[in-house]
Structure 1
Amino acid sequence: MGISSPGIGSGIDVNTIVSKLMQVESAPLADFDKKSASYLAQVSAFGNLSGALGSFQGALSPLTSLSSFQSLSALPSDSSVLSASATTKALPGSYRINVSQVAQAQTLASGGYASTTAAIGLGGSTTINFALGTVSGGTFGLAGTTLGAGVKTGGLTPGALTINGTAIATDGSTRSARLLADAINAKSGTTGVSAKAAATVTSATLFGAAGASSFGTVDTSGGGTYALTVGGVTIASQAAGVAAGAAGSIDAAALDTALTGDTAVTRALADANITVSGTAAAGTLQFTNADGSNINISEAVSGAVTGGIGNSGTANTGSTTTAISSITLESADASPITVGGTNPAAAGLTAGVGGAYLGAGFTPDPDRTAGSIVIDTSNNTLQGIAAAINKGNFGVTASLVSDGATGANATPNHLVLTSTATGASSTMRITLSGTNGNPADPGLVNLLGYDPGGVQNMSQKASALDTLANVNGIAVSSSSSSISGAIAGVSLNVSKTGSTSLTVARDTASLTSSVNSFVKAYNDLNSQIAQLSGYDAATKTGGPLLGDATVRNLQASVRRQLSQQITGLKGNLTSLSQIGISFQKDGTLTLDTGKLNKAITSNFDDIAGLFAAVGKTSDSKINFVSSTSATQAGDYAIDITTLATKGSLTSAAAVPASTVIDSDTTWIVKLNDTATAASTATITLPAGTYTPSQLATQLQSSINGVSGFANAGWSVSATVGTDGKLKLESNRYGAQSNISLVDDTGSSVSSVFGGATSVDGVDVAGTIGGYAASGDGQTLTGAAGAPVAGLKLTVDGDTIGSRGDIGFSQGYAYQLNNLASNFLGSNGYITSRTNGLNQTVKDIGKQKDALSARLVDVEARYRAQYTQLDTLVASLNSTQSYLTQQLAAIAKNG
């Protein structure tokens, strides 16, 4: 193909001509671009509007809740002692709070072991049962032995005893258990330990043994005298010259006469705090001093005397016997006590760290979880036991702690158990039982056996404590560091012991901030609308959305809602103007703070209704929960036809006074069964003999100890009714509430419940405003398509039929929030408008592409046409040149 250069032969500028023609032909492309740019500018503008409306909705969202307007502040004077929060149910006031104890969890530790992986015990299969409950009676501390004999005469030397690192002030005058207890108690504020002296009791064999008297008749006929004193009180005396058996001689019978009834001797002994038991004639005479003071029994003899204590017919040269007692240490918070000093043994104590419950009992708490694990050859190591406990997830966690001891015989490893919950009722009791009639493995018993009312093989490192406080003179307690209910509507979160005042007041600052947030949110939106759809007379330019119907609709809808009074609102306030909010000439809102403050003072509780969705019921047992954008404001009567109930299982007959649960007893529990694995679990009941209340407690704790149930928020209560029947009841209301028990191993379910059948729960049923409503447990929700659609109530109480009414209103923030939702979202007006604009831009693009494609053909046609013209003209020019040459030649030759 040859090279083509249009215009060379003809002189016609074909390229320029075609280019000029194509400029004319392609002129519409620029119009398409202008239209597309205009629509894209509107898309961008709607994006800005959407963002502004989203910000507006975000600012409104928290204002749709009552708590944003009815909050109260709770400010302590000492925030290091506690923090506090108040709900709308709180009452303004001032409170004085003293915290004397902060809740903590119990911690137990085992003795030391050389290895964490070595087998413990013989490997016999042993079930370890954990129960949580409270300790009753008794004390936690150390029981000492009788003070050393040298204390009677020499006292307790300074520095001989320290408690929890504090030296007890003792000296040569500290010669009795009472005086030692006084010295210890003088330091209790520092040590946290108090002491009690045991009663001092004289020897049981001093005046005889086995019923045989060893008090010989006193004989002073040889010229001597005799006097018997007890604790400084003379109980018998005999002058010189009195023969044995003669009138006035002292024998066992005479002593008993002097010590019986209201005598001068008994009155003197009582004044000395000494009581008498037994008789001298029977050889059982003893003297007791309840306060722990020493009792000195002395025979004062002068001259020749026979008879007396342990003496019959032989010379008596006098005697002195001193009875001394012991002390018991008590820890104020049931924590271990450290005993030290240069001679603690003289105080009847052993150096070291220790402590146990003394004379206490244990009561399982039915509201605390219980559980069990099985230890055998597969897991009978510290590591295996700890893993099994943690996997059980029944309120106790296990860890392994090393005390760092080294050496060939070191045993540094300890199993440490901690209750997952705080509170006095989270104290552990750990019992062990064997399987198939075999006893529990003794190695595991030595490791884990712990009963506050019995053997305590583990040592308590921290006791389970409640938080104890005094609020305006009223003692209160809580199982956690939080206290609620002591002050109506106020929750206290305790950090440490101490005193503080608490001021509960209306949080007017938060309310004012919420109102200002509402005004600002509207003004920000209004400003953005003005920028996007307004007209600037100075520049004679309009915003990208000038005259747009969607924007006009939005602006008009917002202003219309703000200008209307709220319907269905029960209270003194129904419009924004009543709290100082009004429109200005430029369309913005302004707030008159003086008017707002006046409204806060006189109508604090009503302000929330201007902004939030409010439902006020006339029946206190029915509560408004929530609503939807479909719920219409108004007053609606409430009628209940069926009350919600819980699923239950009740024994067919009264439970006997004692029920024996065999070893290896496991039952399958189905709770709130919805055919899911989470609804079914296997529980273990510890072997033993149970009273009805004990059996109820054990069942409730065992079922509630199932982690799957706890994670779902499910639990049961177990009670014994006045008819003696045992009842298990789910905490859940409604048709999905149920409970059943099935035999697995050991004692059968029927041995406790007989032929009982379970009863499923029932959903609440009724109408709202005469319109249908659906029930789910205690929740009643208005059906779709009715004015009450989405109106959700919780129904409590025990009355069916008419239950009053509910006044439902939608505040401005709530209404505008719903309005914003109608414009935003995948089906909103703005989204639809934006989608339409984008589609228009696409259509313009298609038209532009079509025109561009057509222009290619037009250009090709032009080029073809002008190329042909160029060729024709070039040919004519060539012919002209040829003819010219020929004519010129002819003329020359002619």
Structure 2
Amino acid sequence: MAGLTSSGVGSGLDVKGIVDALVQADITPTKNRLDKQEASITTQLSALGQIKSALSNLQTSMIKLSNINQFYALKSSVSDTSILSASVNNDASAGQYQIEVQTIATKQNLASSSYINSSSTVGNGSITIDFGTYSNSNTVFTANPDKQSVTINVAPGQDSLSAIRDAINNSGSGVQANIVKDSSGYRLTLSSPETGQSLAMRISVIDNDGTNNNSTGLSALAFDPTIGNNSLIQTTVAKDSQVSINGLLLTQSSNQLKNAIEGVTIDLKKAQPGTLVDLTIANNDSQLTNAVNEFIKQYNDTMTTINSLTSYNAETKKGGTLQADSGVRTLKLNLSKILGEPVAKSGSTVLTLADIGIKTNKQGLLEMDSDKFNTAVTNNYDAIAALFAKTATATDTNIRIKSVGNGVKTGLYNLVINSFVPGTSLSGTIGGVNATSSDGLTLKGTSSFQGLSVEVLAGSTGARGQIEITDGLAVKLNNLLTNYLGDTGDLSTKTEQLNGRLGDIDSQRAQLTTKASTLSNRYTKQFTALDALLVKMQSTSDFLTQQLANLPQLTANRG
């Protein structure tokens, strides 16, 4: 006992160091196990996040390819955009047209005589503006029944040039009044509400000076060429546009021609008689090609990500983070399976990706034969659309599909027309479900056929054949991705399970902390008691040593 030494207090026993060592020896194996589990789960969550991100990007490209109404739109091109421009919607059809813009529609513009300034007094009374058409060399005015006349009262003190301008602009007539300064002074200008000869203005006044047809007072703002009252000067005549489309002459009040060619809007910019402008409505090949290339890129990125996370490296003898995850392996198989399946489209010459030059290599990645793909785009554009998108096809040639909703299920459905008065009334059923019409031409599906609409071009009532609904590859793939990425999808479920395990680890760590505290308290009590015992033993040892040291002296004294 004499050799017992320590840097601690009491007996010198390092109670804290011993307790800490014992506690760590007890909890370290469990702590290391939990740390290892947490690292593994965190790595798996990161890997699943990579897959979800890749699938999300892939789904974005699928949405573009799956909606035939939004993506497979036609495009328009014009040989001279200084004369006109054109745009198309889903009702358009491919075709070529020659257009001659003979005149463009204009507004009528009138101008007053000059005044010293905008505050100059014109005169008071009332102004009445009628809208209509001048004919027979401006000797006849025919009122426009669709445009009401307007009367503007001009009170004394409110009869300056600027006040009359403001009163006209606030009249609700649509006439635009302005004040323009030229070399002779200030003039009031008036513009008809819209273009077209049927909106020419006839302006009559009641002048409080007693004379309504001279050039002074409020009469200076009158315009009625049918009676020779032209106090206002006509600077621009109201005209309709005149356009020849493939030799057919069209006259309209506007410079925007809607559905002169079905599904096409033509905006006229200037007249150029004798010049034929070529308008071409064609398939948007470049948009389709770009979308397919984007799909291939995103698909390959997704498969590359999955391959790297599930593969096994024979050299390093290490597997990917998700090598043992059967769910991810199933995902990979499902992706490959869908792309290899033919689309069940009656009579189509394009049923698989291979038919348009897209094949899968040994690594499961897609490769495109550009020549074969471009040939398919040129010759089978509609078939490519059906390969990717949800499509509807009618067996009756006088039934045209206008749209098909994403929720309509695949299958063959009977179309029955119950009544048909073109442009007046139309009723029928699709797949036995009542369909409605608001224009007497287009039948719209309801319930499970919501989003499906068909146009009846001609024909009688009764059975009108069938409508075939087909899901293309993009639709199928998009549905698969939705199942995986949704809140209740496989990836979300797996992520939730892993996060739950992390929560369990946190709970076990909390329990381990409690255990460490309990062990520390227990060991501290035990070794504190031992320390006290050692102190007592040390004291006894010191006493005995002292007594033994005195033994020789006692013996000598006895001798």
Q: Which amino acid aligns with 2:62?
A: L
The answer to whether residue 538 in structure 2 is matched with residue 877 in structure 1 is: yes
The aligned residue for residue 463 of structure 2 is: 802
CA deviation after TM superposition for structure 1 residue 17, in Å = 1.5
Cα 1:24–1:428 change in 2 (3 A) is: farther
Q: Which amino acid aligns with 2:501?
A: T
Counterparts of 1:429 and 1:603, CA distance in 2: 58
Judge conservation of contact 1:373–1:388 (CA < 8 Å) in 2.
Answer: no
Judge conservation of contact 2:152–2:171 (CA < 8 Å) in 1.
Answer: no
CA deviation after TM superposition for structure 1 residue 587, in Å = 0.9
**Which range is displaced more, 102-111 or 612-621?**
102-111
CA offsets 1:195-253 (integer angstroms, 9 cap, x no match)? xxxxxxxxxxxxxxxxxxxxxxxxxxxxxxxxxxxxxxxxxxxxxxxxxxxxxxxxxxx
SS at match of 1:403: strand
Counterparts of 1:820 and 1:805, CA distance in 2: 31
Partner residue of 2:445 out of 781, 788, 791:
781
Aligned length: 532
Judge conservation of contact 1:102–1:495 (CA < 8 Å) in 2.
Answer: yes
Partner residue of 2:236 out of 450, 453, 462:
462
CA offsets 1:96-115 (integer angstroms, 9 cap, x no match)? 54434333433444556677
Partner residue of 1:45 out of 44, 47, 54:
47
The answer to whether residue 28 in structure 2 is matched with residue 364 in structure 1 is: no
The aligned residue for residue 135 of structure 1 is: 134
Cα 1:568–1:860 change in 2 (3 A) is: same
Judge conservation of contact 1:636–1:768 (CA < 8 Å) in 2.
Answer: yes
Q: Which amino acid aligns with 2:311?
A: G
After TM superposition, the structure 1 = structure 2 runs for residues 186-205 of structure 1, keeping only pairs within 5 Å, are none
Judge conservation of contact 2:54–2:298 (CA < 8 Å) in 1.
Answer: no
The aligned residue for residue 452 of structure 2 is: 792
Counterparts of 1:456 and 1:886, CA distance in 2: 148
Q: Which amino acid aligns with 1:870?
A: D
Judge conservation of contact 2:68–2:389 (CA < 8 Å) in 1.
Answer: yes
CA deviation after TM superposition for structure 1 residue 73, in Å = 5.1
Partner residue of 1:768 out of 415, 424, 430:
430
Partner residue of 2:367 out of 558, 572, 590:
590
Counterparts of 1:50 and 1:388, CA distance in 2: 64
**Which range is displaced more, 371-380 or 819-828?**
371-380
CA deviation after TM superposition for structure 1 residue 796, in Å = 5.6
CA offsets 1:38-73 (integer angstroms, 9 cap, x no match)? 333333333322222222122222222436776555
Counterparts of 1:480 and 1:403, CA distance in 2: 30
**Which range is displaced more, 584-593 or 379-388?**
379-388
The aligned residue for residue 348 of structure 2 is: 571
The aligned residue for residue 849 of structure 1 is: 510
The aligned residue for residue 161 of structure 1 is: none
Counterparts of 1:824 and 1:55, CA distance in 2: 11
The aligned residue for residue 328 of structure 2 is: 551
Judge conservation of contact 1:108–1:416 (CA < 8 Å) in 2.
Answer: yes
The aligned residue for residue 195 of structure 2 is: 422
Counterparts of 1:390 and 1:414, CA distance in 2: 12
Cα 1:806–1:864 change in 2 (3 A) is: same
The aligned residue for residue 530 of structure 1 is: 307
SS at match of 2:380: helix
TM-score (norm: length of structure 1): 0.52
After TM superposition, the structure 1 = structure 2 runs for residues 363-762 of structure 1, keeping only pairs within 5 Å, are 363-364=143-144, 366=146, 370=148, 372=150, 375=153, 396=174, 398-403=176-181, 412=186, 414=188, 416-419=190-193, 421-429=194-202, 446=219, 449-451=222-224, 453=226, 455=229, 458-483=232-257, 491-498=265-272, 499=275, 501-502=277-278, 504=280, 506-569=283-346, 571-617=348-394, 618=396, 620=398, 623-628=401-406, 630-641=407-418
CA deviation after TM superposition for structure 1 residue 392, in Å = 6.7
The aligned residue for residue 324 of structure 1 is: none
Counterparts of 2:130 and 2:482, CA distance in 1: 54
Q: Which runs of 5+ in 2 are unaligned?
A: 1-5
Counterparts of 2:387 and 2:443, CA distance in 1: 26
Counterparts of 1:475 and 1:112, CA distance in 2: 41
Which is higher, the Rg of structure 1 or of structure 2? Answer: 1
Q: Which amino acid aligns with 2:83?
A: V
Judge conservation of contact 2:436–2:445 (CA < 8 Å) in 1.
Answer: yes
Q: Which amino acid aligns with 2:430?
A: I
Counterparts of 1:432 and 1:37, CA distance in 2: 91
Counterparts of 1:890 and 1:605, CA distance in 2: 121
CA deviation after TM superposition for structure 1 residue 488, in Å = 6.2
Counterparts of 1:781 and 1:116, CA distance in 2: 62
Cα 1:781–1:507 change in 2 (3 A) is: closer
Judge conservation of contact 1:387–1:398 (CA < 8 Å) in 2.
Answer: no
Counterparts of 1:475 and 1:372, CA distance in 2: 34
Judge conservation of contact 1:638–1:802 (CA < 8 Å) in 2.
Answer: yes
Partner residue of 2:529 out of 868, 874, 889:
868
Q: Which amino acid aligns with 1:546?
A: Q
Counterparts of 1:597 and 1:534, CA distance in 2: 35
Counterparts of 1:48 and 1:433, CA distance in 2: 80
CA deviation after TM superposition for structure 1 residue 637, in Å = 0.8
Judge conservation of contact 2:303–2:365 (CA < 8 Å) in 1.
Answer: yes
Counterparts of 2:121 and 2:279, CA distance in 1: 59
CA deviation after TM superposition for structure 1 residue 416, in Å = 4.0
Judge conservation of contact 2:104–2:241 (CA < 8 Å) in 1.
Answer: yes
The aligned residue for residue 82 of structure 1 is: 84
Q: Which amino acid aligns with 1:137?
A: N
The aligned residue for residue 476 of structure 2 is: 815
**Which range is displaced more, 555-564 or 499-508?**
499-508
Judge conservation of contact 2:192–2:200 (CA < 8 Å) in 1.
Answer: no
CA offsets 1:325-383 (integer angstroms, 9 cap, x no match)? xxxxxxxxxxxxxxxxxxxxxxxxxxxxxxxxx435344164xx547576576995666
CA deviation after TM superposition for structure 1 residue 843, in Å = 3.2
CA deviation after TM superposition for structure 1 residue 424, in Å = 3.6
Judge conservation of contact 2:428–2:443 (CA < 8 Å) in 1.
Answer: no
Judge conservation of contact 2:122–2:218 (CA < 8 Å) in 1.
Answer: no
Cα 1:116–1:65 change in 2 (3 A) is: farther
Counterparts of 2:156 and 2:420, CA distance in 1: 52
- % identical aligned pairs: 30
Judge conservation of contact 2:118–2:179 (CA < 8 Å) in 1.
Answer: no
Cα 1:23–1:389 change in 2 (3 A) is: farther
CA offsets 1:444-496 (integer angstroms, 9 cap, x no match)? 96476555655555444433344434445444444444445566665444333
Counterparts of 1:17 and 1:539, CA distance in 2: 42
Judge conservation of contact 1:535–1:543 (CA < 8 Å) in 2.
Answer: yes
CA deviation after TM superposition for structure 1 residue 528, in Å = 2.6
TM-score (norm: length of structure 2): 0.78
Cα 1:884–1:30 change in 2 (3 A) is: same
The answer to whether residue 523 in structure 2 is matched with residue 859 in structure 1 is: no
SS at match of 1:496: coil
Cα 1:882–1:72 change in 2 (3 A) is: same
Q: Which amino acid aligns with 2:107?
A: A
CA deviation after TM superposition for structure 1 residue 612, in Å = 1.6
The aligned residue for residue 3 of structure 2 is: none
What is the alpha-carbon root mean square deviation over aligned residues?
4.2
Judge conservation of contact 1:78–1:500 (CA < 8 Å) in 2.
Answer: no
Partner residue of 1:54 out of 53, 56, 66:
56
CA offsets 1:699-726 (integer angstroms, 9 cap, x no match)? xxxxxxxxxxxxxxxxxxxxxxxxxxxx
Judge conservation of contact 1:42–1:544 (CA < 8 Å) in 2.
Answer: yes
